[in-house]
Amino acid sequence: VGTAGSIRLETIPRQLLIIMSFSYQSESSSSHLLEMLHGGRPRNEEPHVKKSMKKYGEKVDLILRVDLDELGISEDEFDDLQSLFQLYDHDKDGILNLKETQKVLRCLGFRTNEEQAVSLARLVSCDRHGFSISFNEYLQLVSIQRKGEPDEETLLDVFQSFDPLNTGLISEAQFRKIMKSKDSIEEEDINEMIEEYKKMQIVDGAASPG
C-alpha cells in the first residue's frame, strides 16, 4: 500500500488485474451499448420506431418521415418494402446494419458484395463508420435505384441490337457475353440466371395446352 491508502500496481496479482480490467471494460461498454450497435450514427438522432404495449405484447411501428409521392413509391409498394425491412430488422430499432442491408438488397434484385453495399449505403446513410441505414434512408435508396434503372423502351432497344433479325430470341452465348462484360456480375450469378430461365421455360411448357 502506498501513500494516502493507494495501492502500488506492481503489488497486485496479475489475475486480479485481468479481472479488474474486464470489470472496467464491462461498465464502460454497457453505457455505450446502443452507440456501439450502430456506432457511426448521430447520438442525438431521432428514433426510427414507435413502441407501444398491446394486449399480446409490445408493438413496434416504423416511423415514416419521407414523402412517398416524391420518392415515387405507391402505398402498396410501401407496404411490401416495409414488410421486407422488418423481416431483416432483427433488433427492431428501425436500422439495418451492412449485412442486413445486403440481404434486403438481394431480395430487391441487387446482388452486391460488401464494397458495393457500402457504396450504395453512402448515397443515403448518415453513418460514415458502419454504413447502417435507417428505414427512411432505405426508402430513399430504393427510390434512387429505381430512377437509375433503364425504362422498358431502352431495354427493348438494347435487346434488339443483339437480335437484328427480330426473332425475339437471344442465344445463351450472347447472353453470357453481355453479362460477363459487367464487372459486378459473377459467373455463378450468370449460371443461376440461366438455370432459373430454363426452369421457367419448363413450367411454361408444361402449363401450355399441348
Q: What is the pLDDT of residues 53-62, one digit of tens each?
A: 887 788 899 9
pLDDT at 77 over 80: yes
* Integer angstrom CA distances of residue 163 from 48, 53, 157, 167, 170: 49, 60, 10, 7, 6
Mean pLDDT of 88-104: 92
Give the confidence band of 70 by pLDDT, cuts at 50, 70, 90: very high
Query: Looking up cell 491508502, which residue turns up?
Result: 5
For the chain, state the CA radius of gyration: 26
- Give this prediction's pTM: 0.56
Q: Find the range with the poorest average confidence among 17-21, 107-111, 149-153, 197-201.
A: 17-21
> Are 170 and 159 contacting, i.e. CB atoms less than 8 angstroms apart?
yes
